[in-house]
Amino acid sequence: MKPTLLGVILSGIMWAQQQPAADAPAALLPNADLLKLADRSGQLVESTSLAIPDLGRASQPLHNAMEQARINLRSRANHVGYTYALLTSLKAYSSLLDAVQKPFPMPAEATTQLSELKTAADRLEIHFRALLDNAEMRLRHPDRDNLKRYEEANQRLSGPAANRVVFFGDSITDFWRLNEYFGDAPYVNRGISGQVTSEMLGRFKADVLDLKPKAVLILAGTNDLARGTAISTITGNYTMMAELAKAHGIQVIFASVLPVSDYHKNVNPDWERSRLRTPANINALNDWLKRYCATNGLTYLDYFTAMKDVTGMLRAEVADDGLHPNAAGYRIMAPLAKAAIDKVAAGAKSQPDKKKSRLFSR
């Protein structure tokens, strides 16, 4: 029976617990270094299999598996399952090396390459172990959703404010210095860098509901897409946040996911953003948000159209890394956010008081 990815990860975690503890920050490879190691391993497997005649045909399935693992890692670097697939292929190749007859004497270059391949496999194993350690620590962390981040700030807010709006989201919200763009408006920033919608849902009560705002502006989803989370899961989390807000009389503004671009990947290979956040997935999520808002009477805030270029990518001048808006980007977003908030406020004022309507109807 073919093992599931979950089974692979869980068995890997059990294996890692039996190994000596690794210093995760030092053990983890940067994405660019990981991809270089993966590509070099593939080159070494190819060249050594040519140097050992009996190895070429026998190792062909491993060549294919390694190539697929490298392709997958280029789309999602530091993915536990993809890293495990590459590591197990390298280990299987080493076992095959031990089993086949080698030429005597071995070519000096092949001997050097085999030694380099062993070093690469050992380094990849350390990296994989660190990935598992990080994943386990994240799952077991007592404050997984980072509720403590704004705990004191929330306590300092004195009851409901007449026009309080919570900006709720991930790093794009977290990095936004609202006072520089909205002056003294009672807007509260509750963004946390790196969070996905499930973590935001976990802190929705503390960082939104308990603050009793008039409205919440939610900008989320890009990190979910980068992690490969199913769109149905993301939309489920959106829906739960909207329903919770509605139950507490809070108006909801759903902002579109911003486009991304690869224009700055020459500065940093990790800034090839469209590998993890594909335009197709961004468009699919934004289409759902637009439909959901229209169907449920919520406000849809379209940052996407204002921030994209003619190719549909994030305009090069509004983000220095292809993902996070710079000052020029926030200057585009700010009036759009203000217009959406004003629209919600105007809509709320135009709604009749239901209690008075019932009273006068008697």
pLDDT, tens only, 165-176: 999 999 999 999
Q: What are phi and psi of 187, to 5 degrees?
A: -100, 135
239 Cβ contact partners less than 8 Å away, ≥ 6 residues apart: 292
pLDDT in tens, 100-153: 888 888 888 988 998 999 999 999 999 999 888 877 776 677 777 888 999 999
**What pLDDT does residue 19 have?**
40
126 Cβ contact partners less than 8 Å away, ≥ 6 residues apart: 22, 27
- Domains in the chain, start-ordered, CATH in brackets? 5-140 (no CATH), 147-357 (3.40.50.1110)
Q: What are phi and psi of 134, to 5 degrees?
A: -65, -40
**What pLDDT does residue 204 have?**
97
Mean pLDDT rounded to a whole number for the chain: 86
Cβ distance 250 to 295 under 8 Å?
Answer: no
Cβ distance 212 to 165 under 8 Å?
Answer: no
Instruction: Give the single-character DSSP code of 284.
Output: H
The strand pair at 215-219 and 165-169 is best described as parallel
Q: What percent of the chain has pLDDT over 70?
A: 86
Instruction: Give the single-character DSSP code of 187.
Output: E
Helix locations, 78-187, DSSP H: 80-99, 108-140, 151-156, 171-174, 178-182
User: Two tokens at 175?
Assistant: 């990095």
Whether the pTM exceeds 0.75: the reply is no
Cβ distance 114 to 84 under 8 Å?
Answer: no
pLDDT of residue 57 exceeding 90, the answer is no
pLDDT in tens, 220-235: 999 999 999 999 999 9
**What pLDDT does residue 2 have?**
44
Instruction: Give the single-character DSSP code of 169.
Output: E
Query: CA quadruple 194, 196, 197, 202: dihedral positive or negative?
Result: negative
Which residues sit opposite 190 in a β-bridge?
A: 168
Residue 5 pLDDT level (bands cut at 50, 70, 90): very low
pLDDT in tens, 277-333: 999 999 999 999 999 999 999 999 999 999 999 999 999 999 999 999 999 999 999
**What pLDDT does residue 351 have?**
62
Residue 6 pLDDT level (bands cut at 50, 70, 90): very low
